[in-house]
Amino acid sequence: MMAKCSGCGANVPSHDETCSYCGSHNPHYVPPDNNVNQLLEEAMKAYEGERYAAAIDFYNQAIALDPEVFSAYFYLAAALTIIGRHAEAIKAMEKAQALRPGNTAVHYNLGMLYKKIGRQAEARMYLEKALELVKRDPAVQSQKQLRKDIEKELAEFKRWKLF
Ligand SMILES: [Zn+2]
């Protein structure tokens, strides 16, 4: 279930403690069920151990039980990206984006994924959105560096004169 952020009015999923746009506390926060948490833990162990097929399987199981856990989609997309399944990674990352529309990293990753599969228009759109979000994203720790990375990617598009 999505709730409305009391700070800015954006949608906030029930498993997020804070709003992805403004960082306000979510008073409707509820943690995922224990069996979902267990799957997420197994998935993270597999991911960190570079057992990506196993990680993907655990994340998909977690999503089947609870379709509103941001980290499940985010790391599912990351694992799929590492093993080169870019189209599926995009689908998973777009689900993560729907849950946290104010998250810069998600938009940056989507831009890079679309770039990898040669879809320049989408790549540019997501990178431009990332550049807009990075200025006020409460989740970004090194704002300057991420901003530089995004600007570098966008500059490439201009150099190639694709638009
Ligand atoms: Zn908010």
Is the pLDDT reported for residue 61 higher than 80? yes
Ligand 1 ion local residues (Cβ < 5 A): 5, 7-8, 10, 19, 21-22, 24
User: pTM to 2 decimals?
Assistant: 0.91
Of 58-67, 75-84, 154-163, which range is least confident? 154-163
Q: Which helix (H) or strand (E) element contains residue 2?
A: strand 2-4
State residue 136's pLDDT score. Answer: 87
Q: How far is the centre of ligand 1, averaged over its atoms, from the C-alpha of 9 (Å)? A: 6
Q: Which amino acid, residue 60?
A: N
Residue 77 CA to residue 35 CA, distance in Å, equals: 21
The domain limits of the chain are: 1-31, 33-93, 100-163
pLDDT level of residue 160 (50, 70, 90 thresholds) = low
Radius of gyration of the chain (CA): 16
Q: Which CATH architecture does the domain made up of 33-93 adopt?
A: Alpha Horseshoe (1.25)
Candidates 113, 123, 119, 106; CA nearest to 80 is: 113
Q: How far is the centre of ligand 1, averaged over its atoms, from the C-alpha of 73 (Å)? A: 21
95-98 contacts: CB < 8 A, separation 24 or more?
A: 96/70
Torsion of CA 156, 87, 16, 129, to 10 degrees: 30
pLDDT tens per residue, range 99-154? 999 999 999 999 999 999 999 999 999 999 999 999 988 888 888 999 999 999 99
Largest CA distance in the chain: 51
More confident residue, 11 or 73: 73
Q: How far is the centre of ligand 1, averaged over its atoms, from the C-alpha of 7 (Å)? A: 5
Residue 85 CA to residue 57 CA, distance in Å, equals: 14
Residue 52 CA to residue 90 CA, distance in Å, equals: 16
